[in-house]
């Protein structure tokens, strides 16, 4: 099992946070009693739920103890808990707004989880989630190609079969419509302009590449990172001290039938 580094993850907090804000803007809940953030991470975005609905009880759930520790230290107004979203989805807690930002892609077969998530939302309530849709981009394919080579493959094989994945917006739309929801689904490709040394590596090492990197012994990790950075620099060239990282994201907002 890999662990998360909240500070590393927050390196590009503004860029990572923008999709959450745009997702939230399409949720038309007026006075929810309970709002839950599934996969809340370090809690910086969960705080926006408190601002949006100050009268609501806001709960943040994440499977990472490191992330929850960071969240509790920075956003005390939220009830943060360490929990696996799959366990929560099959529980009994009912909510009025259920939000999940860049989390479901980590759950294998998460499409099959949607009926359970919808069942947790009260009639007339809202389910909103966002997942990356950039897994065919060099930032991911380079890592996978390198991890499949010797001498790395024997260490990374187990984690490479559980790398994040997602579906097209229409797939999510049809799945939620089948469950009776009114659905708004769309996609956006952001062009993030990043600065600093090896910024694309810094980005992916805090998220999608982290399980692969942590699966490697220290000596091999150094070799892997050096080659990974070299290939990323070729795929995302530096232009006047800046690198452009295209990032496609998929948004889904559904209202549960009243």
Stretch (H or E) spanning 189: strand 182-195
How distant is the alpha carbon of residue 62 from its chain centre? 11
Say if residues 202 and 236 touch (Cβ distance below 8 Å): no
Is 165 strand, coil or helix?
A: coil
Domains of the chain by start residue, with CATH: 6-255 (3.40.50.150)
For residue 155, the cross-strand partners are: none
The confidence score (pLDDT) of residue 10 equals 57
Residue 131 Cα to chain centre, angstroms: 6
Q: For residue 63, give both structure tokens.
A: 């499977």
Length of the chain: 258
Supply φ then ψ for residue 146, to 5 degrees: -70, -40
Burial letters for 201-215: b for 16+ Cβ neighbours within 10 Å, e otherwise? Answer: bebbbbbbbbbbbbb
The total of other beta-carbon atoms located within 10 Å of residue 48's CB is 17
- The alpha helices in the chain, defined as continuous H runs, are 6-9, 13-24, 46-52, 65-74, 85-89, 114-119, 138-147, 153-160, 169-178, 199-205, 210-215, 218-235
User: In which order are the strands placed within the sheet that holds 79-82?
Assistant: 79-82, 57-62, 34-38, 95-101, 121-132, 242-255, 182-195
pLDDT (0 to 100) of residue 81 = 97
Q: How far apart are CA 251 and CA 131, in angstroms?
A: 7
Distances (CA, A) of 249 to 55, 131, 169: 30, 6, 10
Of 21, 38, 180, 168, nearest to 104 by C-alpha is 38
Each residue's pLDDT tens digit in the chain (258 positions)?
A: 556 556 665 566 688 889 999 999 999 999 999 999 999 999 999 999 999 999 999 999 999 999 999 999 989 999 999 999 999 999 989 999 999 999 999 899 999 999 999 999 999 999 999 999 999 999 999 999 999 999 999 999 988 777 789 999 999 999 999 999 999 999 999 999 999 999 999 999 888 788 899 999 999 999 999 999 999 999 999 998 999 999 999 999 999 998
């Amino acid at each position: 099992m890999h662990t998360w580094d909240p500070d590393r993850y927050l390196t590009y907090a503004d860029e990572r946070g923008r999709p959450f804000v745009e997702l939230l803007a399409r949720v038309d809940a007026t006075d929810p009693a309970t709002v839950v953030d599934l996969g809340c991470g370090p809690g910086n975005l969960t705080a926006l739920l408190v601002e949006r609905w100050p009268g609501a009880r806001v709960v943040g759930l994440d499977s990472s103890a490191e992330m929850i520790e960071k969240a509790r230290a920075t956003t005390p107004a939220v009830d943060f808990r360490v929990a696996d979203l799959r366990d929560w989805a099959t529980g009994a807690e009912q909510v009025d707004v259920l939000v999940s930002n860049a989390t479901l892609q980590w759950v294998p077969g998460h499409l099959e989880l949607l009926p359970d998530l919808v069942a947790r939302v009260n009639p007339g309530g809202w389910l909103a989630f966002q997942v990356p849709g950039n897994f065919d981009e060099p930032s991911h394919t380079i890592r996978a190609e390198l991890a499949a080579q010797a001498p790395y493959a024997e260490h990374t094989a187990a984690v490479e079969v559980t790398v994040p994945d997602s579906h097209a917006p229409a797939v999510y739309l049809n799945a939620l419509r089948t469950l009776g929801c009114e659905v708004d689904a769309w996609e956006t490709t952001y062009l993030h302009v990043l600065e600093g040394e090896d910024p694309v590596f810094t980005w992916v090492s805090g998220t999608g590449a982290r399980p692969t990197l942590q699966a490697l012994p220290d000596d091999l990790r150094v070799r892997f990172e050096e080659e990974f950075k070299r290939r990323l620099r070729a795929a995302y060239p530096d232009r006047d001290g800046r690198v452009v990282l295209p990032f496609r994201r998929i948004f889904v907002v559904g209202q549960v039938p009243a």
